[in-house]
Structure 1
Amino acid sequence: MNIGDRVRLLRAKEQGVVSRFLPGNMIEIEIEDGFRIPVLRSELVPVSPVESERLLKNNPYEPQKTVTPSAPAILASQGIYLAFVPVNDREYTLHLINNTDWEFPYALGEESAGASGGVQFHGLHAGVLKARSQQKMNDLYAHAKFENWPTFVVQGLWFRAGKSSLRVPLVKRFKARAATFFKNKTTIPVLNQPGFQTQLDADSAPDQQAPPSAGKPVAAKPHVVRPEDLKAEMLKPKTEQSGLSVEKPSSVIDLHIEELLPSGPGKRTPADLLKLQLDTFEKTLENAIANGMHDITFIHGVGSGALRTELHKRLSRHPNVRFFEDAQKQKFGYGATKITIK
């Protein structure tokens, strides 16, 4: 079993893609909507190539496209985007969007400073985006490490069957700037999800043709993150950055489903319920931090341990958490975690 393999749960209906190997014989898999959960290796089985082909229509990890009627005329010649979609208030997934009527063979990579002072290139993904489709990358980019995000490099060609103009290959570099990145939240084309995006082909004419003597395409200069812009963004109030509520929560929060959904879970799957618990945890913790609380306790129960494991994983890398520990066993048993906030 390797990263990228499709797997399914033995005791549930969820399927996903292996995204990371965790300690303790645990594997992290990514299910629908980019949500990741830890699962015991013994609870997973690989999806065979034949089964994978039969389920291709329902597979959320392949480029999704909207079926459009064939037409001899090109309707849209511009619309290549890099998009960052929030998974929560601290992490983003990267997508390459083709909202044109051309096919777009591409290569995507990152540029970063090397140890010797030069520039290193790291390839991320390559493939062909059909018209009106998108490709999601497996990497998560952390909000807290925004200043260390690399320069993204996209190289692409244009293809359309039949007669069409010869277009100059697209080579574009993009470096996110704090002053503008967080102000332009919008609905991402094709995905129809909220996020942040930059259009890569906005400055090229749709009917631009490659001159006969054209050599290598001239690469656009990367955008630069200015220190003063980043500092100004970091000093903004938390409510201005994320729009989260700052209502002061209780010092003890119960994450049991019967507390969160008093009328019952309805038709929600186990993955849906776990996502609800984690979203509640994230929002409540951020509200506690915004209100200057010293500590807060979350009751997660014992169960299979999946919720506790995920909470502790997120707390271990949270920049505003001083430490966390099992809450008073006399009061909560082994099913609660107390968090001390910086």
Structure 2
Amino acid sequence: MKFKLGDFVRFVDEKREGYVTKIIDAQTLGVTDSDGFEIPVVVSNLTYVHGHGNTEIEKEEMPKPVVVNVPAISKVENGIYVAVANDNKAGNVVHFHLQNQTPTTMLVSIHAFRKDKYSSVFYGVLESFSSSLIYSASLADLDIWPEFSFQFLLHHKDDVKPVNPLNLLKKFRAKDFSVEQKDLPQLKQKGWIIRLDEQAPLIDAQKLKESFFKTAEEKKTVAVPSKEVDLHIEKLRDDYHFLEPDEMLNIQLAVFQSTIDAAIVHHFDKITFIHGSGNGVLRSKIHKLISQNPQVKTYMDAQKEKFGYGATEVVFK
């Protein structure tokens, strides 16, 4: 029998169960038991536990999504998400739950691939405002997780024009799990929630064309920004004591956007934004904007010796 990361298995020669959390070699797997210890086990000494609800979907059965009440997730904007939560028993194992936070029914197909080898992860119907477990793995092995291919066919029961199927590739990165954990209402625990159906904003072709023909004088009207920009609200506004949290965030994001635009105009090779650690909201927002900017080559945590964990360095093409 062939096992893969996330499978729930039982030891043949003793009463012990756990998740496959590491592929050591062709004959040996690392299995994490309920005490959180990872044990090397010979494949022949393991048997698959059917019906546990992990990543293996039996061919003769369609997955049964767990339906939840809409009010319980009222704080989550409509969309398609992956909610990632730690296992209650094996602390280094995380479980991925696909969440359909839309009024449509979805036909879902998910595959994992690594080095041109593909495997089925999940398939089935996910009703509107419901959730289903799709994958389990060890967070410690993040670097060797496969890339995932998500395919969604959305069906609306009302008189609504059908939309095109949604196809996307997703490789989970360390930055996805570097932000502070949030409440996951559907799972009734904390974890990370990652939206799948957000798309980069459309670029106005005419405006982009006009920008290429701006004169040198027009470009010089944009002030040269600092190489290090502090986005802490007290550095931007004297009246920050009277601002609501969402107002502060909007001001910080506006300064970030205008500064990165100015850096591009003046052909900066790189720039550093100091956003602090805090609750991770500002960091998450600017990372999303950075990842969607076609002029950005890469970005990373800035020098920890100088900024701690509260700054991001952006490198331009």
What TM-score does the superposition give when structure 2 sets the normalisation length?
A: 0.42
What TM-score does the superposition give when structure 1 sets the normalisation length?
A: 0.40
